[in-house]
Amino acid sequence: MQWRHFVPAYDPWFNETFARQWGDRNDVDVIVDNVGFADLTPRAAAEIQAQRGHDLIQFVTPHAMLVDHLVDHREIFEECSKRYGKPTDFALRAHFNPKTKTYTGFAAAYQPALITYRGDLWVKAQAVPNTWDDVLTGARQIKLLDGKPAGFSLAPEHNCEQTLRSILYSFGASEQDADGSPTLKSGATLDALRYVKNLFEQAMIPDVLGWDGASNNRFMLTGEGCLTVDSLSIPRAAESMKLDFAGDLRLAAMPAGPAARLGSFGFYTYSIWKFAENPAGAKQFLIDYVGQSRAAFLASGFQNMPCYPDTVPDLEALTGGPGNGVAAKYGLMKDVASWTTNTGHPGYTNPAVSEVYARGIVSKMFADVATGRLAPEQALDGADREERAIFDRWRERGQL
């Protein structure tokens, strides 16, 4: 079971080409169920309760808190490293638990964290969204002069949780340190909270408090906004829709903050249940899938970035080579890995980090400050208490 890909061409390739051909070669009947992004988590919970379901399930959000129901995916990582070279460090951190020495899932690809913006509006404003300060000053001016705000979600959903963490990490803040101790309460977190409050008040719209996972796409594709955070679904949709302003949509690296330029937008992680009926087949399916990373990269319109870089050795030529017919905006794809990190940076995406994510503690903290419901210090104190309680519980269980 996996999500319906935001790039429509990907699902036919995966379902009808890769999965079908793999099944024919291995004498296995491969059934792929595509569901909406919002349905993945509740469907997973239902399968856990029933102790039956799919052999493989895809998670796009952190899921390590489900560790009791998952096999150790070590064999897949080890075999893929032998066949395809080393994975990126952030892909390892997203799935490995250094305390238990186990892997809670496996990803052949990750989602690129990118800025999508209206180049025509930003050129008119004589601005470039290179830093988070640039985003604030440029978007504020564009909203004032052209009525086109910036926008990213401040609701408890995937895009929001990832974007806010990208800002936290860029400001030098984080949920934990490299050793898995909670560190949310810091001056850097307060700086990030104040920044987002200023951005919300000066350059965004109140609607972002109720956005869902597709709202950022609608925001840009209807021409309402001047900038958002996304992977590649917006420019790809604009191209397929033949929008008049499709050529004006530009891509940029995640903005730099006072401490770093970092972005997190998630992985296409597959996990195998302990109650899976064919775990050996599921493992082999994933190992062979990594070998098709180049085809997956192309079918996804560059959105499925390879966790094993050696599987797409010509990535730069595919995305930015002269005369290959690809829009110049995609030339930055070769650099995406340089600013990408995992949820829980600079540590691992452990069960505590995953539970903090699932409970929306970070998004609630930012929304409370942005709307003035709580002062930054009050919101941070509350989030810190919740976070520490979660970390304590998982430490008692031997997971940290």
* More confident call, 327 vs 195: 195
Residues 306 and 229 in one domain: no
Residues 34 and 123 in one domain: no
pLDDT at 358: 97
* DSSP letters for 250-279: EEEPPPB-SS---B---EEEEEEBTT-S-H
Residues 197 and 138 in one domain: yes
Residues 216 and 228 in one domain: yes
> Pairing mode, if any, of strands 2-3 and 34-35?
parallel
Residues 242 and 136 in one domain: yes
Residues 231 and 136 in one domain: yes
Residue 323 has pLDDT above 80, yes or no: no
Domain count, the chain: 2
Residue 325 has pLDDT above 90, yes or no: no
d(CA 30, CA 17): 11
Q: Does residue 3 sit in helix, strand or coil?
A: strand
Do the domain assignments include residue 333?
Answer: no
Q: Does residue 292 sit in helix, strand or coil?
A: coil
What is the CATH classification number for the domain harbouring 24? 3.40.190.10
Do the domain assignments include residue 325?
Answer: no
Digit-coded pLDDT (tens) for 88-146: 999 999 999 999 999 999 999 999 999 999 999 999 999 999 999 999 999 999 999 99
Domain that includes residue 210, residue range: 114-261+350-396
Closest to 270 in 3D by CA, of 42, 28, 71? 71
Residues 233 and 377 in one domain: yes
Residues 20 and 102 in one domain: yes
pLDDT at 326: 86
Residues 120 and 55 in one domain: no
Residues 230 and 374 in one domain: yes
Do the domain assignments include residue 343?
Answer: no
Q: Does residue 383 sit in helix, strand or coil?
A: helix
Residues 125 and 168 in one domain: yes
Instruction: Please give the model's pTM, rounded to 2 decimal places.
Output: 0.96
Long-range contacts at 23-32 (CB < 8 A, ≥ 24 apart): 26/281, 26/284, 28/278, 28/281, 30/285, 32/1, 32/2
